[in-house]
Structure 1
Amino acid sequence: MTLGLYALCSILAICFVGVSLCIYRNHLSVMHGMVFAMAIAMVNGLFAGTLVGILFQGNLFLSTIIGISIGSSAGILIGSFHSIIVILEGALSGVMAGMMGAMLGEMVAATYWDVMMFIMFALALFVYLLIIIEVFKMGKNHKMK
Protein backbone atom coordinates (compact mmCIF):
# COMPACT_ATOMS: atom_id res chain seq x y z
CA MET A 1 0.00 0.00 0.00
CA THR A 2 2.68 2.47 1.01
CA LEU A 3 4.87 1.66 -2.00
CA GLY A 4 1.93 2.11 -4.35
CA LEU A 5 1.11 5.48 -2.81
CA TYR A 6 4.71 6.62 -3.21
CA ALA A 7 4.70 5.51 -6.84
CA LEU A 8 1.38 7.24 -7.58
CA CYS A 9 2.47 10.53 -6.00
CA SER A 10 5.75 10.38 -7.89
CA ILE A 11 3.97 9.82 -11.20
CA LEU A 12 1.64 12.77 -10.55
CA ALA A 13 4.58 14.99 -9.60
CA ILE A 14 6.56 14.10 -12.73
CA CYS A 15 3.48 14.82 -14.86
CA PHE A 16 3.11 18.26 -13.25
CA VAL A 17 6.81 19.03 -13.70
CA GLY A 18 6.71 17.83 -17.32
CA VAL A 19 3.69 19.97 -18.16
CA SER A 20 5.30 22.99 -16.46
CA LEU A 21 8.51 22.52 -18.44
CA CYS A 22 6.54 22.13 -21.66
CA ILE A 23 4.60 25.34 -21.06
CA TYR A 24 7.67 27.44 -20.18
CA ARG A 25 10.25 25.75 -22.43
CA ASN A 26 10.66 28.88 -24.59
CA HIS A 27 11.72 30.86 -21.53
CA LEU A 28 14.40 28.38 -20.42
CA SER A 29 17.95 28.06 -21.71
CA VAL A 30 19.41 24.79 -22.96
CA MET A 31 21.52 24.64 -19.80
CA HIS A 32 18.35 24.80 -17.69
CA GLY A 33 16.88 21.99 -19.75
CA MET A 34 20.02 19.90 -19.32
CA VAL A 35 20.03 20.32 -15.56
CA PHE A 36 16.30 19.63 -15.31
CA ALA A 37 16.52 16.50 -17.47
CA MET A 38 19.50 15.24 -15.51
CA ALA A 39 17.89 15.92 -12.12
CA ILE A 40 14.54 14.39 -13.02
CA ALA A 41 16.14 11.33 -14.58
CA MET A 42 18.36 10.94 -11.53
CA VAL A 43 15.62 11.09 -8.90
CA ASN A 44 13.22 8.97 -10.97
CA GLY A 45 15.89 6.36 -11.62
CA LEU A 46 16.88 6.25 -7.95
CA PHE A 47 13.28 6.09 -6.76
CA ALA A 48 12.12 3.52 -9.31
CA GLY A 49 15.27 1.43 -9.00
CA THR A 50 14.97 1.31 -5.23
CA LEU A 51 11.26 0.48 -5.46
CA VAL A 52 11.70 -2.39 -7.91
CA GLY A 53 14.84 -3.56 -6.10
CA ILE A 54 12.71 -3.96 -3.00
CA LEU A 55 9.79 -5.53 -4.87
CA PHE A 56 11.94 -8.00 -6.83
CA GLN A 57 14.32 -8.83 -3.99
CA GLY A 58 16.85 -11.38 -5.20
CA ASN A 59 16.49 -10.55 -8.91
CA LEU A 60 19.03 -7.78 -9.47
CA PHE A 61 18.96 -8.15 -13.26
CA LEU A 62 15.22 -7.47 -13.59
CA SER A 63 15.21 -4.62 -11.08
CA THR A 64 18.22 -3.02 -12.81
CA ILE A 65 16.60 -3.20 -16.24
CA ILE A 66 13.33 -1.72 -14.96
CA GLY A 67 15.13 1.03 -12.99
CA ILE A 68 17.26 1.95 -16.01
CA SER A 69 14.20 1.99 -18.27
CA ILE A 70 12.20 4.28 -16.00
CA GLY A 71 15.09 6.67 -15.31
CA SER A 72 16.10 6.90 -18.96
CA SER A 73 12.50 7.36 -20.09
CA ALA A 74 12.07 10.30 -17.73
CA GLY A 75 15.32 11.88 -18.94
CA ILE A 76 14.42 11.37 -22.59
CA LEU A 77 10.91 12.74 -22.07
CA ILE A 78 12.08 15.91 -20.33
CA GLY A 79 15.08 16.31 -22.64
CA SER A 80 12.91 16.07 -25.74
CA PHE A 81 11.63 19.59 -25.06
CA HIS A 82 15.12 21.01 -25.66
CA SER A 83 17.76 19.30 -27.83
CA ILE A 84 19.52 16.05 -28.67
CA ILE A 85 22.38 16.68 -26.23
CA VAL A 86 19.86 17.22 -23.43
CA ILE A 87 18.16 13.94 -24.34
CA LEU A 88 21.54 12.19 -24.17
CA GLU A 89 22.36 13.75 -20.80
CA GLY A 90 18.98 12.80 -19.36
CA ALA A 91 19.13 9.24 -20.69
CA LEU A 92 22.61 8.58 -19.34
CA SER A 93 21.75 10.06 -15.95
CA GLY A 94 18.72 7.77 -15.85
CA VAL A 95 20.89 4.74 -16.64
CA MET A 96 23.29 5.56 -13.83
CA ALA A 97 20.56 6.29 -11.30
CA GLY A 98 18.50 3.22 -12.23
CA MET A 99 21.48 0.96 -11.59
CA MET A 100 22.31 2.64 -8.28
CA GLY A 101 18.70 2.49 -7.11
CA ALA A 102 18.36 -1.19 -7.98
CA MET A 103 21.55 -2.02 -6.07
CA LEU A 104 20.33 0.00 -3.10
CA GLY A 105 16.96 -1.78 -3.13
CA GLU A 106 18.71 -5.16 -3.19
CA MET A 107 21.06 -4.32 -0.33
CA VAL A 108 18.69 -2.66 2.14
CA ALA A 109 17.34 -4.89 4.89
CA ALA A 110 13.61 -5.64 4.99
CA THR A 111 13.21 -3.76 8.27
CA TYR A 112 14.30 -0.52 6.58
CA TRP A 113 12.25 -0.71 3.38
CA ASP A 114 9.69 1.88 4.48
CA VAL A 115 12.37 4.26 5.74
CA MET A 116 14.36 3.97 2.51
CA MET A 117 11.30 4.52 0.34
CA PHE A 118 10.34 7.57 2.40
CA ILE A 119 13.85 9.00 1.98
CA MET A 120 13.81 8.42 -1.80
CA PHE A 121 10.30 9.87 -2.06
CA ALA A 122 11.24 12.95 -0.04
CA LEU A 123 14.35 13.46 -2.19
CA ALA A 124 12.29 13.19 -5.38
CA LEU A 125 9.66 15.64 -4.14
CA PHE A 126 12.35 18.09 -3.03
CA VAL A 127 13.96 18.04 -6.48
CA TYR A 128 10.57 18.40 -8.21
CA LEU A 129 9.74 21.37 -5.97
CA LEU A 130 13.05 23.10 -6.74
CA ILE A 131 12.53 22.61 -10.47
CA ILE A 132 8.97 23.93 -10.35
CA ILE A 133 10.10 27.00 -8.39
CA GLU A 134 12.87 27.70 -10.92
CA VAL A 135 10.60 27.18 -13.93
CA PHE A 136 7.91 29.51 -12.62
CA LYS A 137 10.53 32.08 -11.59
CA MET A 138 12.01 32.07 -15.10
CA GLY A 139 8.54 32.32 -16.65
CA LYS A 140 7.60 35.20 -14.35
CA ASN A 141 10.85 37.07 -15.04
CA HIS A 142 10.33 36.68 -18.77
CA LYS A 143 6.79 38.08 -18.60
CA MET A 144 7.99 41.17 -16.67
CA LYS A 145 10.49 42.18 -19.38
Structure 2
Amino acid sequence: MLLVYAAISNADIGGPLAGPFMVLLAAMVGAVLIPVAYVPTLVVVELVRSRVSIPGRILIAGAVLVTIIGAVVALVSILTDVSVLGAFGALLIGCASVLLPATASALVVYWLPGLTKRLFRRPNGQPPIFNGFSSI
Protein backbone atom coordinates (compact mmCIF):
# COMPACT_ATOMS: atom_id res chain seq x y z
CA MET A 1 0.00 0.00 0.00
CA LEU A 2 2.85 2.35 0.80
CA LEU A 3 4.44 1.60 -2.56
CA VAL A 4 1.26 2.62 -4.38
CA TYR A 5 1.06 5.80 -2.30
CA ALA A 6 4.72 6.59 -2.99
CA ALA A 7 4.30 6.00 -6.72
CA ILE A 8 1.21 8.23 -6.88
CA SER A 9 2.64 11.07 -4.76
CA ASN A 10 6.12 11.06 -6.38
CA ALA A 11 7.75 10.28 -3.02
CA ASP A 12 10.74 8.03 -2.40
CA ILE A 13 9.66 4.45 -3.18
CA GLY A 14 11.70 2.84 -0.45
CA GLY A 15 14.19 0.03 -0.13
CA PRO A 16 15.47 -2.77 -2.35
CA LEU A 17 12.15 -4.67 -2.40
CA ALA A 18 10.31 -1.81 -4.08
CA GLY A 19 11.48 -2.82 -7.57
CA PRO A 20 10.12 -6.39 -7.46
CA PHE A 21 6.87 -5.11 -5.97
CA MET A 22 6.55 -2.59 -8.81
CA VAL A 23 6.96 -5.44 -11.29
CA LEU A 24 4.28 -7.40 -9.42
CA LEU A 25 1.99 -4.37 -9.49
CA ALA A 26 2.53 -3.95 -13.25
CA ALA A 27 1.75 -7.65 -13.77
CA MET A 28 -1.49 -7.33 -11.81
CA VAL A 29 -2.54 -4.24 -13.79
CA GLY A 30 -1.70 -6.08 -17.03
CA ALA A 31 -3.72 -9.12 -15.91
CA VAL A 32 -6.73 -6.83 -15.58
CA LEU A 33 -6.20 -4.71 -18.71
CA ILE A 34 -5.47 -7.50 -21.20
CA PRO A 35 -8.94 -9.10 -20.87
CA VAL A 36 -10.48 -5.61 -21.02
CA ALA A 37 -8.84 -5.15 -24.42
CA TYR A 38 -9.16 -8.64 -25.90
CA VAL A 39 -12.63 -9.83 -24.84
CA PRO A 40 -14.51 -7.11 -26.78
CA THR A 41 -12.16 -7.59 -29.71
CA LEU A 42 -12.82 -11.32 -29.86
CA VAL A 43 -16.58 -10.77 -29.55
CA VAL A 44 -16.59 -8.34 -32.49
CA VAL A 45 -14.41 -10.60 -34.64
CA GLU A 46 -16.63 -13.61 -33.91
CA LEU A 47 -19.73 -11.59 -34.85
CA VAL A 48 -18.32 -10.70 -38.28
CA ARG A 49 -16.46 -13.98 -38.87
CA SER A 50 -18.81 -15.39 -41.51
CA ARG A 51 -19.10 -12.14 -43.47
CA VAL A 52 -15.50 -10.93 -43.60
CA SER A 53 -12.33 -12.46 -45.03
CA ILE A 54 -9.31 -13.29 -42.90
CA PRO A 55 -7.39 -10.05 -43.63
CA GLY A 56 -10.58 -8.12 -42.90
CA ARG A 57 -10.94 -9.86 -39.54
CA ILE A 58 -7.38 -8.93 -38.63
CA LEU A 59 -8.00 -5.30 -39.62
CA ILE A 60 -11.26 -5.17 -37.65
CA ALA A 61 -9.54 -6.67 -34.61
CA GLY A 62 -6.78 -4.07 -34.92
CA ALA A 63 -9.31 -1.23 -35.17
CA VAL A 64 -11.18 -2.43 -32.09
CA LEU A 65 -7.93 -2.82 -30.13
CA VAL A 66 -6.74 0.67 -31.11
CA THR A 67 -10.12 2.12 -30.08
CA ILE A 68 -10.01 0.41 -26.68
CA ILE A 69 -6.38 1.39 -26.09
CA GLY A 70 -7.19 4.97 -27.10
CA ALA A 71 -10.07 5.09 -24.62
CA VAL A 72 -7.91 3.71 -21.79
CA VAL A 73 -5.05 6.11 -22.58
CA ALA A 74 -7.48 9.06 -22.77
CA LEU A 75 -9.05 8.12 -19.43
CA VAL A 76 -5.70 7.72 -17.68
CA SER A 77 -4.39 10.93 -19.27
CA ILE A 78 -7.39 12.90 -18.03
CA LEU A 79 -7.13 11.44 -14.53
CA THR A 80 -3.38 12.08 -14.24
CA ASP A 81 -3.27 15.45 -16.06
CA VAL A 82 -0.70 14.38 -18.68
CA SER A 83 0.20 16.56 -21.65
CA VAL A 84 -1.16 15.78 -25.09
CA LEU A 85 2.30 14.79 -26.31
CA GLY A 86 2.74 12.40 -23.39
CA ALA A 87 -0.68 10.88 -24.03
CA PHE A 88 0.11 10.44 -27.72
CA GLY A 89 3.40 8.73 -26.84
CA ALA A 90 1.55 6.42 -24.46
CA LEU A 91 -0.97 5.66 -27.21
CA LEU A 92 1.79 4.77 -29.68
CA ILE A 93 3.58 2.55 -27.16
CA GLY A 94 0.31 0.91 -26.11
CA CYS A 95 -0.76 0.23 -29.69
CA ALA A 96 2.61 -1.21 -30.65
CA SER A 97 2.82 -3.40 -27.57
CA VAL A 98 -0.65 -4.83 -28.14
CA LEU A 99 -1.04 -4.85 -31.93
CA LEU A 100 2.24 -6.55 -32.80
CA PRO A 101 1.67 -9.68 -30.66
CA ALA A 102 -2.03 -9.77 -31.59
CA THR A 103 -1.23 -9.63 -35.29
CA ALA A 104 1.45 -12.29 -34.94
CA SER A 105 -0.96 -14.61 -33.13
CA ALA A 106 -3.66 -14.01 -35.75
CA LEU A 107 -1.22 -14.84 -38.53
CA VAL A 108 -0.25 -18.07 -36.77
CA VAL A 109 -3.87 -19.06 -36.16
CA TYR A 110 -5.16 -18.27 -39.65
CA TRP A 111 -2.25 -18.97 -41.97
CA LEU A 112 -0.02 -21.58 -40.32
CA PRO A 113 -2.20 -24.60 -41.24
CA GLY A 114 -2.32 -23.60 -44.90
CA LEU A 115 1.39 -22.82 -44.94
CA THR A 116 2.32 -26.19 -43.48
CA LYS A 117 0.17 -27.98 -46.05
CA ARG A 118 1.97 -26.11 -48.84
CA LEU A 119 5.42 -26.72 -47.37
CA PHE A 120 4.91 -30.44 -46.82
CA ARG A 121 3.03 -31.35 -50.01
CA ARG A 122 4.35 -34.15 -52.13
CA PRO A 123 4.69 -34.23 -55.91
CA ASN A 124 2.48 -36.23 -58.29
CA GLY A 125 -0.72 -35.75 -56.31
CA GLN A 126 0.29 -37.92 -53.38
CA PRO A 127 -1.20 -37.00 -50.00
CA PRO A 128 0.84 -34.52 -47.97
CA ILE A 129 3.42 -35.72 -45.48
CA PHE A 130 1.98 -33.45 -42.82
CA ASN A 131 -1.74 -32.75 -42.92
CA GLY A 132 -1.82 -29.59 -40.82
CA PHE A 133 -2.86 -29.54 -37.23
CA SER A 134 -6.27 -31.13 -37.79
CA SER A 135 -5.19 -34.45 -36.25
CA ILE A 136 -4.03 -32.90 -32.97
- TM-score by length of structure 2 reads 0.39
- Between Structure 1 and Structure 2, whose CA radius of gyration is higher? 2
- Whichever structure has more helix as a proportion of its residues is 1
